[in-house]
Chain A
Amino acid sequence: MAEQTLSRSATTTGETPAAVPRLRRWVPYLLLAPSIVYLAVFFASPMLQAFGLAFTGTTGRFGLESIRAMLGDDRFWPSVLTTLLLLVVLLPVQFALALGMGLVVNARLRGSGFWLYVFLLPLGVSELGAGIAWYSIFVEQGWLNTVLQGLGIIDTPVIWLDYRDPVRVVATIVLAEAWRSTSLILIILVSGMRAIPRDYLEAAEVFHAGPWQKLRHVLLPLLRPTIRTALIVRTVLAFEVFATVVALGGTGTDVLATQANRAYTEFQDAHLASAYGLVILVVSLAAVAVILVSLPIRRERGE
């Protein structure tokens, strides 16, 4: 309203007031204001409150009581280890899969659009839904054992979700997570691939580059910024992995996010839960920093 009045008065008097260019400088900030307010109210303020909670104990005193309780919990370090293990195993598996799928989609073969839809289907399944679906596959009387028994590969059902064999349980979680979230990386990689001009690949062909050389020396270097984005997204999400772990690992396998949830819902300790949230935040930030440093974007000349 104020702007309207201002513009009308400026037009009628025919003057060029100095205030108007100054106002124009504020336009970007005005446009940004709603999202900044939104982020401040719904993201920043709860985050600050969570910091406050993490640094107060159940007695309400400010201090490190909750942090100490978290570090003293015998499940803390195992949950950190499992979280990192999942990340280390999942990232390469998912990137190899996503790259392969991306190349299939990008090869512009007949029906590549169809494959894109197939590959993206898991994106439509909620994390909890995926957890339940994979539980029904791996449980003792589940799909996997039924199929294996039907094919005569095993005689008696195998207990896949045996907490005494962490490798087996983590393998089922990796499988479920890879199925569920590889498509997210795929979608980022495909958009990156589509942005690469075909001239580069054609030039490589002129020099008789084979498929591997094209991938290694043309596609991957040009995909570097995209890969970096995908890595960051996937790493941050890996620290939040939750429902598949709860469904497949039960109380026998812990990651940071399940511990945070248990602290809040089961032990009714919002302070302890916030302390775990703080750890997840710190570890995510550290991991993102590592990615940013280890994968710098080189500016090409003329860019």
Chain B
Amino acid sequence: MVQHSGVLSRRDVLRLGSAAAAAGLLSACALDTTGAPGSQDSDGLVFYSTQLATTEEAESLRRQILAGFGTPVDYVTDSSSTKMFDRLRADAKAGTSSVQVVGALQGEIATLWAEGLLRDMTDVVEELATGAGGRRFTRQYLDLARMDGRYAFVPWIQASYLMAARTDALQYLPPGADVQRLTYDQLLGWTRTLQQATGSPELGLPAGPDGLLKRFLQGYAYPSFTGGVNSTFRSPDAAAMWQWLRAAWATANPQSVTYGNMAEPLLSGEVWVAWDHAVRLVDALQARPDDIVSFPAPVGPRGRGYLPVLGGLSVPRSVADPTASIELIRHLTDPARASTTLRTVAWFPPQDLAGLLGGLPPGIEAEAATLQAMITAPDALASSLAVGLGNQSGAYDKVFTDTFRQIVLGDGDIPSTLATQGAALQGVLDQAGARCWRPDPVGEGVCRVG
């Protein structure tokens, strides 16, 4: 190689220079996150939500529900609570605010609130609920929004879980059974007859990775059979419930372990009777209102257990000037927007429904009637959502899915499984220091597993 008296050649220098430039460029790419989804534009707001997370729901929110709001809003959605927790924790640690408005379920907000990551929303709720605000929030939901005597969020959307069936299945109902007032035993008799008649298992439960079967156990099966959840976890009533579920599962399509959403299997005819979240069933009811009917969850020996779902809006504590965030919350809870929300994404407003109903799309109309019937039934037994579990809510759910897997999928012994899982459940409650919540007797001190 020809050398200019041993010094670096011009080419070497050029190489070094371009390498340095490339390195600079690379690191700039790596560190520049302004293009990442959810980072704040100079004058826009980031609205991060764990609900309304499917593509259609997100598009409805962006195009219809946010329409007419002056400031540009970057709607970021991901159904994983863990990711939202991590993001807000990271923001708080770094002293930044990459999120201006949070939309989440009551239980998720409770976790954030307990960690001191959210602004006190009492002033906003009071302003909206009284006088000029004109939001007629339902008392029950306002109560759920109160934590430590303050309002942790503004009630935004509500729903519950219900059942749906293909009308072809109704002819196989047990004699004398009314689909609007089924008992758990009648449901089992029905799905057994269906299985015999059609030759295949026709019950569907969302036991897949994204399914909400855990809520069926916590808010429906346990309260209906035992009158409680934690305080009756390993009681004889609970053993009877697991017997029932094991028998019912034998009439369920084994593909249930892959189902996250029951609308699709109902429409395709893989299952004829299903339980799921109202919002996850609505597509089936909307697509074939004449062929698919909705009906309330069944009633058990201790009542008709059901779980209200409430989503709320809040502002992270790290937001320096919450004016624009509050403006967005005002927009989203406006009665006109609540009506749009109901019509486009089938989430009900936690406000007085009068004036909103009527002229609804058929599937949503049917769900509204079913939910109303379930909530106002004389034997209705509402669970309040688990509050006070903090970062143990995932571990809490794990106890129920593990128990289901061991008893129902693995055919394990019921009393011994309940004994070991009951100990695990007590460990979770102890670590969280959580008090009991309804339908367990509410009292002082850490909730005891019974």
Interface residues, chain A, with chain B CB atoms under 8 Å away: 3-4, 6-7, 10-11, 14, 16, 20-21, 23-24, 27, 30-31, 33-34, 37-38, 41-42, 58-59, 74-75, 135, 139-141, 156-157, 159, 161-164, 246-252, 258, 262, 264-270
Bound CA span A85–B228, Å: 42
**Candidate in B83, B254, B409 with the most chain A CB atoms within 10 angstroms:** B254
Within 8 A of A (CB), among B242-294: 253-255, 257-259, 268-270
Contact of A264 among B82, B254, B269 (CB under 8 A): B82
Specify the main secondary structure of chain B where it touches its partner.
Answer: helix
Interfacial chain A residues near B8, Cβ < 8 Å? 3, 6-7, 20, 23-24
Task: Kindly list the 10 A-B residue pairs having the minimum CB-CB distance in the complex, ordered from nearest.
Answer: A268-B394, A250-B258, A34-B23, A250-B257, A252-B257, A267-B394, A141-B268, A10-B7, A162-B254, A16-B6
Interfacial chain B residues near A163, Cβ < 8 Å? 254, 257, 409
Contact B19 A30 (CB under 8 A): yes
Q: A37 → chain B, closest Cβ, in Å?
A: 8
Interfacial chain A residues near B258, Cβ < 8 Å? 135, 139, 161, 247-252
Contact B82 A265 (CB under 8 A): yes
Interfacial chain A residues near B7, Cβ < 8 Å? 6-7, 10-11, 16, 20
Interfacial chain A residues near B30, Cβ < 8 Å? 38, 41-42
- Kindly list 6 other residue pairs between chains A and B, CB separation below 8 angstroms, not including A38-B30, A252-B409, A265-B82: A11-B7, A14-B5, A30-B19, A139-B270, A140-B268, A159-B253
The answer, yes or no, to whether B446 is at the interface (CB within 8 Å) is no
Query: Which of the 9-residue segments B34-42, B181-189, B397-405, B434-442 touches chain A?
Result: B397-405
Contact of B395 among A75, A250, A269 (CB under 8 A): A269
Interfacial chain B residues near A141, Cβ < 8 Å? 268-270
Interfacial chain B residues near A268, Cβ < 8 Å? 81-82, 85, 391, 393-395
Band of interface residues on B: 35 or more
The answer, yes or no, to whether B199 is at the interface (CB within 8 Å) is yes
Q: A52 → chain B, closest Cβ, in Å?
A: 16
Q: A3 → chain B, closest Cβ, in Å?
A: 6
Q: B33 → chain A, closest Cβ, in Å?
A: 13
Interface residues, chain B, with chain A CB atoms under 8 Å away: 4-8, 12-13, 15-16, 19, 22-23, 26-27, 30, 80-83, 85, 199-200, 207-209, 211, 253-255, 257-259, 268-270, 391, 393-395, 397-398, 401-402, 405-406, 409, 431
Bound CA span A262–B26, Å: 33
Contact A74 B209 (CB under 8 A): no
Bound CA span A270–B86, Å: 10
Contact B26 A38 (CB under 8 A): yes
Q: A107 → chain B, closest Cβ, in Å?
A: 41
Bound CA span A247–B209, Å: 9
Contact B431 A59 (CB under 8 A): yes
Contact A20 B22 (CB under 8 A): no
Contact A267 B405 (CB under 8 A): no
Bound CA span A30–B8, Å: 14
Interfacial chain A residues near B4, Cβ < 8 Å? 11
- In the complex, 22 of the A-B residue pairs with CB atoms within 8 angstroms, ordered by the A residue number, are A3-B13, A10-B5, A10-B6, A11-B4, A11-B5, A14-B5, A27-B12, A59-B431, A74-B406, A135-B258, A140-B255, A156-B199, A156-B200, A161-B254, A249-B257, A251-B257, A252-B257, A252-B258, A258-B209, A266-B397, A267-B398, A269-B395
Interfacial chain B residues near A164, Cβ < 8 Å? 254
Bound CA span A112–B301, Å: 70
Contact B13 A251 (CB under 8 A): no
Interfacial chain A residues near B395, Cβ < 8 Å? 58, 267-269
Interfacial chain A residues near B81, Cβ < 8 Å? 268
Interfacial chain A residues near B83, Cβ < 8 Å? 265
Q: Known: A7-B7, A162-B254. Contact between A33 and B23, CB under 8 A?
A: yes
Bound CA span A162–B257, Å: 9
Bound CA span A268–B200, Å: 37
Contact A27 B16 (CB under 8 A): yes
Interfacial chain A residues near B85, Cβ < 8 Å? 268
Q: A25 → chain B, closest Cβ, in Å?
A: 12
Contact B19 A34 (CB under 8 A): yes
Contact A140 B270 (CB under 8 A): yes
Interfacial chain B residues near A4, Cβ < 8 Å? 13
Interfacial chain B residues near A33, Cβ < 8 Å? 23
Contact B209 A262 (CB under 8 A): yes
Interfacial chain A residues near B207, Cβ < 8 Å? 250-251
Bound CA span A58–B398, Å: 15
Contact of A266 among B26, B270, B398 (CB under 8 A): B398
Interfacial chain A residues near B397, Cβ < 8 Å? 266-267
| Chain B residue nearest to A140 in the complex (CB) | B270
| Chain B residue nearest to A74 in the complex (CB) | B406
Q: A15 → chain B, closest Cβ, in Å?
A: 8
Interfacial chain B residues near A269, Cβ < 8 Å? 394-395
Q: A275 → chain B, closest Cβ, in Å?
A: 15
Bound CA span A32–B13, Å: 16
Q: B55 → chain A, closest Cβ, in Å?
A: 13
Q: B340 → chain A, closest Cβ, in Å?
A: 30
Interfacial chain B residues near A135, Cβ < 8 Å? 258
Q: B205 → chain A, closest Cβ, in Å?
A: 11
Bound CA span A157–B258, Å: 17
